[in-house]
Structure 1
Amino acid sequence: MIERTAIIASTVGLHARPASIFAEAAGELDAEVTIARVGEPIEEAVDADSMLALMSLGVEHGEAVVLRTEDDSAADALEALAGILETNHDA
């Protein structure tokens, strides 16, 4: 399992536009990726390619999330997804 932590940069958190951008990018991957708040059990993670699931997390600006995948070849993909989360899409 590969994990990557990211800090949410968008001022509105992981809602609407940032969630849509992130979910679309995650949906284009061959690997299945999950996302959850840092410290939450793995069972609480949601599919990264589901905009509604992302918004249901209620993650706000400045909060840390963890991205996970079982695909050991997806390290670069997790980095790219983390980059999306660490960009303020509301600027």
Structure 2
Amino acid sequence: MISKDYIITAPLGLHARPATSLIRLAKNYKSAISLKKGEKTIRLNSMLNILSLNVKGGETISVFIEGEDEQAASANIDQFFITELKNL
């Protein structure tokens, strides 16, 4: 299992557009991917799940990845949070 924390740098947070992009990215992998904010953990498979976390800019979330392709999934999710989220 891989666990990483990310600070959301997008001023608008994790809203519908980046949530959709993140779900599309996660669907490329067999690994189970979850997000956690505070005490709430959700599966990364539904926009409503992601939006229910109400992640705002400057907040920290944790990502958990477990499965046969977790290394590849982790690398691409890193890329998403480090560069792509800033542009959405």
Report TM bin, short chain: 0.7 to 0.9
- Give yes or no for the alignment of 1:75 onto 2:76: no
| Runs of 4+ residues deviating >6 angstroms | none
In the alignment of these two chains, the number of paired residues is 86
Q: Give 1:62 deviation, angstroms.
A: 1.6
Any stretches of 5+ residues in structure 1 without a counterpart? Answer: none
Give distance in 2, aligned partners of 1:58 and 1:17.
14
Any stretches of 5+ residues in structure 2 without a counterpart? Answer: none
Residue 29 of structure 1 corresponds to which residue in structure 2?
A: 29
Q: Secondary structure at the match of 1:88?
A: helix
Q: Give 1:63 deviation, angstroms.
A: 1.2
Give distance in 1, aligned partners of 2:32 and 2:68.
11
Instruction: Give identity over the alignment, percent.
Output: 26
Q: CA RMSD in A?
A: 1.7
Give distance in 2, aligned partners of 1:49 and 1:27.
8
Give distance in 2, aligned partners of 1:78 and 1:5.
12
For normalisation by structure 1, the TM-score amounts to 0.80
Amino acid corresponding to residue 26 of structure 2 in structure 1? A
Amino acid corresponding to residue 32 of structure 2 in structure 1? E
Matches within 5 A, 1:1-91: 1-37=1-37, 40-41=38-39, 44-71=40-67, 73-86=69-82, 87-90=85-88
Q: Give 1:13 deviation, angstroms.
A: 0.5
For normalisation by structure 2, the TM-score amounts to 0.82
- C-alpha contact 1:7 1:64 (8 A) present in aligned 2: yes
Name the structure, 1 or 2, with higher relative contact order (CA <8 Å, separation 6+).
1
